[in-house]
Amino acid sequence: MRILLSILLGILCAVPAAAAEKQAADAKKAETHAIHVITVADAIGPAVAEYVVDAIHTANEASSACIIIELDTPGGLVDSMRSIVQAIFDSRAPVVVFVAPSGARAASAGVMITLAADIAAMAPGTNIGAAHPVGAGGNDVGETMQEKITNDMVAYIRSIAQKRGRNPDWAEDAVRESISTTETDALKMNVIDLIARDRNDLIDKLNGRKVRDKGALVLNPNHVVQLKEGLRTKILRVISNPNVAYLLMMIGLAGLYFELSHPGTIFPGVIGGVCLILAFFAFQTLPVNFAGILLIALALILFILEIKVTSYGLLSIGGVITLLLGSLMLFKENGSRLGLAWSVILPTLGLISAFFVAVAGLAFRAQVSRPRTGIEALVGEIGVVRQSVSPFGKVFVHGELWRAHADVSIPVGSQVRVTSVHNLVLEVESLKEKAS
């Protein structure tokens, strides 16, 4: 009887333990088959590349079932695009690029990212293509450089398409001819793998689909993890825009210039220093031409010299010209769509140049104007003799009684003019004698 009770008690204890173990296993299985999703709706720049690469690493560490990149981009920097493509190729988990929502596009650098995915999908009403490389400002670069960049991009995109078993001829035409294709034509021409209405429809169509070298997808549609951008990435995304970085540098230079021309104001110098640090933090992620930075620094030096040297405005003119050249040369031509816009360069150049010239004018005027405070301000002032000056006496100037000296005797009540100050003794002359 005791043996029977022991067996029954053991069974009752084992049932909850087995249930808990099964629940833990199910939870682990659900975690293993989690779907990680990131959304990219911006130009491909350093901040976006960092966000995507970090998200892919996070998903791999979590043994994600797959990573879905919802993409809508006009293009971007080549180096940033290459970083994303490399992370996709290195990913252990399958990577799905989904051009969505309707109305979205995968242009320029977005074409390479889409083709590099294990599975490429598009939503209805989207398009892909127009991958012809352009200069940093959005214009074509020189003919020889254009040919080099184009050939490099053609070889790169063909290798991506061939690796993923997609149409390499279409990929080449997207670079050479800037062709763009709708989602239906892209599916027919073997550019993408499937069309899905939305994320839920995409997951349904992905479930059970085989991925080369990575097995069949086993997805849990109820376990979707949205990976958000961190604060650092958000800040970097804002300031790594070339226009924002340029404005930060200009504000920084203006603040430091004001502090140097008016020492002790402190606030402009602090703001200028912070803006310059943020600008140079952004520059390390952008294709910066250091010749442009040197020209802008030279412009600042010329504006500072305008305060010290009488050049009748020639140094200021040279500073404006140098500042313009530095702004135009600040970013390299590297086949990207990110660059300085003329709508930013011209107003900023005008305002900053006017600011530099105005501050230089104020500083010069302060240097040549007559002092208004201190002992030096007494020179030229009119006073009244309170104790006859012969040769020393007392005069009343500026509400104060001063010891005075004159070469001639001046009686009490006479008006005098201060000609100089020596050791707190005023040298004066009689206005009456001066008039005669």
Secondary structure (3-state) at 55: helix
Strands 119-122 and 95-99: parallel
Q: Count Cα atoms within 13 angstroms, Cβ side, for 225.
A: 20
Q: Any long-range contacts for 269-276 (C-beta under 8 Å, 24+ apart)?
A: 275/248, 275/249, 275/251, 276/248, 276/249, 276/252
Q: How far apart are CA 190 and CA 170, in angstroms?
A: 9
- What is the β-pairing status of strands 392-397 and 382-387? antiparallel
- The residue annotated as part of the active site, out of 148, 205, 214, 394, is 148
Q: Is the peptide bond before 391 cis (omega within 30 degrees of 0)?
A: yes
Instruction: Identify whether the C-beta of residue 191 lies closer than 8 Å to the C-beta of residue 181.
Output: yes
Other Cβ atoms closer than 10 A to 178: 15
Active-site residue among 108, 261, 316, 327? Answer: 108
Indicate if 64 belongs to the active site. no
Structure tokens at 171: 């990929």
Q: Is 148 a catalytic residue?
A: yes
346 touches 330 (CB < 8 A): no
Q: Catalytic positions, please?
A: 108, 148
